[in-house]
Amino acid sequence: MDLITKDLLINFLIILLPLFLMQSLYQLKYAYRFENLKEWVFAIFPVLTMVSCMLFPVGIGDGFSWDLRRIPFILGILYGGYKLGFILLFFLFAIRYFIGGNGFYLTLITISLLAVLVLFFSRYYMKMSLKQKLTTSCSLIFLSVLMSVFFSEKLFESNMGARMWVQYIVINVTGMFITTLLWEGIRNNFEVLQKLMKTEKLEVVSHLAASISHEVRNPLTVSRGFMQLSSDEELSPQVRKFYVDTAIQEMDRASEIINDYLTFARPEIDKKEKFNVFEEIQGVADILTPLANMNNTQLKVSSEKNEYGFVLGERKKFEQCLVNIIKNGIESMPDGGKLQIDMIQHSSTIQITIRDEGTGMTQEQINRLGEPYFTTKSKGTGLGMMVSFSIIKEINGKIRVESERGKGTCFTIELPVCN
């Protein structure tokens, strides 16, 4: 293997490393909700990669410097748009200027031409299919290297030899192919994750629907029975009134259950507001009682309505968070049991504990709790806890888990009071 190939491969490593760093950052931002990780941070990677490529070039002498800078440069513009493009362009010219030599003018010509071309394509790039993206990025780099070959031979009379040029072109294009594939893979991964997080609620809602219809059938059957009884003509007015009243009561119960469910299921625009934690707990308990009944579990809420128990945050999201945790508790008790929810008000925090008598978790499972896709259920999504954790974090709360295998699990949530 020639020296140039070896050095270019090291250059390629410089490109791969930041790509994996970027993936880890994406993981932090989207899966673990590091909201204050700003979008522009990701722009550092193409710049960093390009600069490192140029600082560790393949030494060829002649005042020319050979490296894989075109890969981060082209992809940076295609994915990041023209703003990132100008930053990259600035760094590229500045660094190339300090390196010096005839190559600077070669760079000035070829890269300027390339930049115009890439900027043109960047408008359509995001809407392309993977195949089109690969073709675009690879053709762009192929063209640009070809341009360099042409200008350096014609204008600067460099004598590299065809063999070198072929190697240089092959490595550039293969490098571009692999990098584009990886970049797309990383992006797709997180897009899918974000989409799934959005459908998580639908999943819960569809689960609840089964228990709701089950629960509504009872009052309907009862009221139908009383209606039938009251149609007897020989009844005294008092008894008939009693029958009809009972029927109405049962009907009201059915409609209440459906109402609770619909309020939870209705999508709402997220907005921050002050809400009463007690009311939310009570509301969520009402929504989940049918599910608990269907699973032979008892749902017990012991907390008092408190005028100071207010928290600032998105109400609907908080509901969703409680539903996810309580639903897990119910599901952890396949043979029935008790699920106890307590709320204690301290001076500056509200503490909610949700305790079940279910299967519990091993230490390893506790550690993995909140990781995307971690589930032990055959039909689980493994997103419920992740969503819950991130919601609590958004309200600046804390969540703790204690669990013992065979005994049960206790979630403790602490929220800052807002009065």
Nearest alpha carbon to residue 110 among 77, 78, 140:
140
Q: Between residues 180 and 320, which has the closer beta carbon with respect to ligand ADP?
A: 320
| Backbone dihedral region for residue 408 (phi beyond 0: left; psi -120 to 50: alpha; all else: beta) | left
Q: What does the alpha-carbon distance between residue 114 and residue 64 come to, in Å, rounded to a whole number?
A: 18
Q: How far is the CB of 189 from ligand ADP (least distance, A)?
A: 18
Chain centroid to CA 157: how far? 53
Q: How far is the CB of 401 from ligand ADP (least distance, A)?
A: 8
- Angle, helices 315-331 vs 277-294, to 10°: value is 30
Contacts of 188 (CB under 8 A, 6+ apart): none
Contacts of 157 (CB under 8 A, 6+ apart): none
Among 194, 231, 376, 419, binds ligand ADP (CB under 6 A): 376
Asked if 382 is part of the footprint of ligand ADP (rule: CB under 6 A), the reply reads yes
Among 343, 361, 391, 395, binds ligand ADP (CB under 6 A): 361
Among 52, 223, 324, 390, binds ligand ADP (CB under 6 A): 324
Q: How far apart are the first and last CA of the chain?
A: 71
Q: What does the alpha-carbon distance between residue 239 and residue 229 come to, in Å, rounded to a whole number?
A: 10
Contacts of 303 (CB under 8 A, 6+ apart): 278, 281, 341, 342, 343, 344
Residue 369 interacts, among ligand ADP, Mg ion, none and using kind-specific CB cut-offs from 5 to 8 Å, with ligand ADP
Residue entry with tokens 């990701």: 42
Asked if 332 is part of the footprint of ligand ADP (rule: CB under 6 A), the reply reads yes
Q: How far is the CB of 369 from ligand ADP (least distance, A)?
A: 5
Burial of 261 (0-12, 13-18, 19+ CB in 10 A): buried
Residue 376 interacts, among Mg ion, ligand ADP, none and using kind-specific CB cut-offs from 5 to 8 Å, with ligand ADP
Q: Between residues 112 and 376, which has the closer beta carbon with respect to ligand ADP?
A: 376
Q: What does the alpha-carbon distance between residue 58 and residue 66 come to, in Å, rounded to a whole number?
A: 5
Q: How far is the CB of 397 from ligand ADP (least distance, A)?
A: 18
Residues that bind Mg ion in the complex, under the rule CB under 5 A: 328, 384
Asked if 359 is part of the footprint of ligand ADP (rule: CB under 6 A), the reply reads yes
Among 49, 211, 320, 328, binds ligand ADP (CB under 6 A): 328
| Backbone φ and ψ of 397, nearest 5° | -100, 180
Asked if 392 is part of the footprint of ligand ADP (rule: CB under 6 A), the reply reads no
Residue 320 interacts, among ligand ADP, Mg ion, none and using kind-specific CB cut-offs from 5 to 8 Å, with none
Q: Between residues 383 and 399, which has the closer beta carbon with respect to ligand ADP?
A: 383
Helix (H) / strand (E) containing 273: strand 272-276
Q: Between residues 8 and 339, which has the closer beta carbon with respect to ligand ADP?
A: 339
Nearest alpha carbon to residue 11 among 47, 39, 49:
49
Asked if 409 is part of the footprint of ligand ADP (rule: CB under 6 A), the reply reads yes
25-33, 288-296, 302-310, 322-330 -> range binding ligand ADP (CB under 6 A): 322-330
How many residues can be counted in the chain? 419
Q: Between residues 51 and 413, which has the closer beta carbon with respect to Mg ion?
A: 413
β-partners of residue 338 are 298
Among 306, 374, 416, 418, binds ligand ADP (CB under 6 A): 374
Contacting residues toward ligand ADP, per CB under 6 A: 324, 328-329, 332, 356, 358-361, 365, 369, 374-377, 380-385, 409
